[in-house]
Amino acid sequence: MEGLHIYLEAAVEAALSAGAYQRYRFASPLDVDMKGDKNLVTEVDRESERLIVERLLERFPGHNIVAEEGDYPQGASPFRWIIDPLDGTTNYTHSFPWFCVSIALESAGEPVAGAIYSPMHDELFTAVKGGGAYLNGRRLHVSARSPLQNTLLGTGFPYDCASDPANNFSNFIIFQKAARGIRRAGAAALDLAYVAAGRLDGFWELKLKPWDVAAGVLLVREAGGVVTGFDGSAFDIFDHRIVASNGLIHDEMTAVLAVAAEGGPR
């Protein structure tokens, strides 16, 4: 655990640097490109990624990089940085202040250090494997709320939800009836950080990428929560269906997803 803190320190420095740039550019005119019908990318995404990658490779030149906006050569290092330079680009483009930087270090196939920074709230979520999760230096723990009907959940919808039946709509409807409420704010990494902080009691989503979840998964686990696939199986960051919770409502959440997969309640 102790040796991981040099990596966390590097992740924090990179996240704060990119976050400061995002604050500076917030609500300014942007060049917006499309990566599909609804998936946006801006020069702020690309510049944030450049700032992060340059800082990390300056300190750890042999490490591998997996990031949302660029393709990077993969070497023999057992360490791989997984980066979402700006999670919540659609929000950012519309001057909606809910977005973040997410940086995780993976080793032996699992996240071992991570930082998620919310620039507009100046909230820095951090974790190292075996060392707990923190928000601005304060130890985090998932909520103690249960059962499902007493909880607040987070989720999101894939960019192709208008054209692909795997769109999360049926899951949302059943959860909306079963839980106290659902929030769909538009940045999965922050949703996971909020589960770790006890602000959300659970989160589920599909069609996510490794950079959307890597740091958040570590945060939830280190805050005492549970992360699995939709069916309760072991979760890998390259899976695209995730359920994260405080643990107390996890079986209820996977049961709801099973009902939805069968076509909903009869």
**pTM (2 decimals)?**
0.95
**Spatial separation of the C-alpha atoms in residues 262 and 170, rounded to whole Å:** 10
Contact 250, 164 (CB under 8 A): no
pLDDT tens per residue, range 177-224:
999 999 999 999 999 999 999 999 999 999 999 999 999 999 999 999
Q: What pLDDT is attached to residue 262?
A: 81
By C-alpha distance, which of 175, 240, 255 is closest to 205? 240
Helix (H) or strand (E) holding 226: strand 226-228
- Cβ-based burial of 264 (10 A; exposed 0-12, middle 13-18, buried ≥19): exposed
Can you tell me the mean pLDDT for 58-84?
Answer: 93
pLDDT value at 148 more than 70: yes
- For residue 73, give every residue at least 6 positions away whose Cβ sits within 8 Å of its Cβ, in sequence order, or none: none
pLDDT value at 37 more than 70: no
Same fold, 2-139 and 148-261: no
Contact 223, 210 (CB under 8 A): no
CATH code for the part of the protein at 148-261: 3.40.190.80
- Ordered strands of the 133-135 beta sheet: 64-67, 79-87, 100-107, 110-118, 123-128, 133-135, 138-139
**Spatial separation of the C-alpha atoms in residues 214 and 237, rounded to whole Å:** 6
pLDDT value at 265 more than 60: no
Q: What pLDDT is attached to residue 266?
A: 40
Q: What pLDDT is attached to residue 166?
A: 82
- Cβ-based burial of 37 (10 A; exposed 0-12, middle 13-18, buried ≥19): exposed
Place of tokens 């998932």: 142
Instruction: Break the chain into its structural domains and give their ranges.
Output: 2-139, 148-261
Question: Across the chain, which distance is largest between two alpha carbons, in Å?
Answer: 58
Query: 33 in the Ramachandran plot: left (φ > 0), alpha (ψ -120 to 50) or beta?
Result: beta
Which range is least confidently modeled, 37-41, 99-103, 142-146, 228-232? 37-41
Confidence grade of residue 167 (pLDDT, cut at 50, 70, 90): confident
- Asked if CATH classification 3.30.540.10 holds for the domain at 2-139, the reply, yes or no, is yes
The dihedrals phi and psi of 197, each to the nearest 5 degrees, come to: -85, -5
